[in-house]
Amino acid sequence: MGESIRRVEGRVRLGPLTLESGEVLPEVELAYEDVGPAEAPVVLVCHALTGSHRTVGTSAAPGWWHPLVGVGKAVDPRRLRVITFNVLGGQDGSTGPRSIDPRNGRPYRARFPFVTIRDMVRAQRLGLIELGVNHVVAVIGGSMGGMQVLEWGLMYPDFMDLLVPLAVTPATSAFAIAFNAVGRLAITSDPAWREGEYPEDDPPAVGLSLARMIGVLTYRTPEQFARRFGRSLKHGWGHDHREVAFQVESYLLYQGEKLVERFDANSYLYLLKAVDSHDIGRGRGGWREAARGYRARIVAVGFRGDLLYPPEEIRSFVEHLRALGKDAIYAEVASEYGHDAFLVEGEQVGEILRRHAPELFPDPAPASADPEGAALLAASRSASEKTVPSPISG
């Protein structure tokens, strides 16, 4: 990356970490991406289920949230320092099931302890302190990332000025947990899972692929599938029970295969359990009582058609916050992408940020005077035009 935009990718060592369960991880590391001027105001971005710390990325490989975060976008690393950690339990460099247990020299695999959203946030705060950051101007995230945002505001209420939770409710619903349960069963029923002791070159590919296909169905909407696929045929109907007759079948298989190529099944299982654990009211007298603990300003965003985290529930949450006298705003995005709209509708989300927090997210400056920035912007636009971001929700 050129000199005009500073970008660091590395790991921070946190030492031992006591989890919410009481179990202790003897050695914890978090992988991170840190982009933007070192002295600029810090924005912490929290990633979703199968995301990573590479939020901004490079001109050659734009990050996973390029519709919203990047040069010329609402969250612009030319004027903000953007930090993302790979979550605890993840598989992109942070301590998780693939990590070596220092007590026996073997990978944890299914012996890794269960982690919660609160454990993730506790580790991230320690990571920020290690990076010399004692305060951030905003914490932003969608889906599982939004869960982290909500917990950040309760666990460390004075650490930030603004919370931006997208596509997330105060607790994971029974409906969402049910889909996660089916996904887990798909993986653990695959003989190749081997109670989590599978070799890396022979993972439970069928189970993980099925789990992903199930997830994708909850991330999108019937309207989007109807417009994109309709009843278009792939190879023709009526030859074999395993045939891929319709284009929509081919798409789901592709999404499943893509995840198998890049994601660890055990990490997927652990992160699903973390999502199920999400409830800001757990141990705090219920979510309505817990909401009294927020001190930062909140801009919560819902997405029409979101099956997992319905916008009307997010709106009700904000109405309750306002009734408590909190500085909270609700905004809603209309999109056929449903839950995944938080990844896709960067322009709409960006406008919401500019409208409600213009001091942090002003209209972007042109990238033409910044060669590296222009290259990043061009790469990001190209990626946006060619593909819809792969689902990384949850």
The domain ranges of the chain are: 7-172+278-386, 178-271
Kindly list the distances between the CA atom of residue 112 and the CA atoms of 95, 99, 252, 393, 394, in Å, as whole numbers in the listed order: 10, 9, 30, 23, 20
194 labelled ligand-binding: no
Coil, strand or helix at 230: coil
**Helix %, strand %, coil % of the chain (to 5):** 40, 20, 40
Assess whether 339 carries a catalytic annotation: yes
> What confidence score (pLDDT) does residue 236 get?
81
Residues written for the chain: 394
Extract the runs of DSSP E, i.e. beta strands, from the chain: 7-18, 24-35, 42-46, 81-85, 100-101, 106-107, 136-142, 160-166, 297-303, 328-333
**CA dist., res. 74 & res. 112, Å (int):** 38
Instruction: Considering the candidates 339, 370, 380, 393, report the single residue annotated as catalytic.
Output: 339
At 373, list the tokens.
């920035």
Query: What is the architecture, at CATH level 2, of domain 178-271?
Result: Orthogonal Bundle (1.10)
Query: What pLDDT is stored for residue 1 in this prediction?
Result: 40
Does the annotation place 76 within a ligand binding site? Answer: no
Residue with the two structure tokens 């989007």: 224
Alpha carbons 133 and 339: distance in angstroms, whole number: 32
Q: What b/e string do you get for 255-272 counting C-beta neighbours within 10 Å, with b at 16 or more? A: bbeebbeebbbbbbbbbb
Based on the residue annotation, tell me whether 306 is a catalytic residue of this protein: yes
Distance CA(213)–CA(190), nearest Å, equals: 15
Given this model, what pLDDT does residue 382 score?
A: 43
Question: What are the backbone dihedrals phi and psi of residue 302, each rounded to the nearest 5 degrees, phi first?
Answer: -110, 165
**Short-list 65, 56, 146, CA closest to 346:** 65
Which of the following CATH numbers is that of domain 7-172+278-386: 3.30.750.24, 3.40.630.10, 3.40.50.1820, 3.40.190.10?
Answer: 3.40.50.1820
The catalytic position among 59, 94, 99, 143 is 143
Active site residue 143: yes
Q: What is the pLDDT along the chain (394 residues), one digit of tens a residue?
A: 444 899 999 999 999 999 999 999 999 999 999 999 999 999 999 999 999 999 999 989 999 999 999 999 999 999 999 999 999 999 999 999 999 999 999 999 999 999 999 999 999 999 999 999 999 999 999 999 999 999 999 999 999 999 999 999 999 999 999 999 999 999 999 999 999 999 999 999 999 999 999 999 999 999 999 999 999 998 888 888 888 889 999 999 999 999 999 999 999 999 999 999 999 999 999 999 999 999 999 999 999 999 999 999 999 999 999 999 999 999 999 999 999 999 999 999 999 999 999 999 998 766 555 555 555 554 444 444 334 455 666 6
- 307 phi, psi to nearest 5 deg: -75, -35
Catalytic residue among 190, 276, 306, 370: 306
Confidence (pLDDT) at 237 = 84
State the Cα–Cα distance between residues 235 and 245, nearest whole angstrom: 5
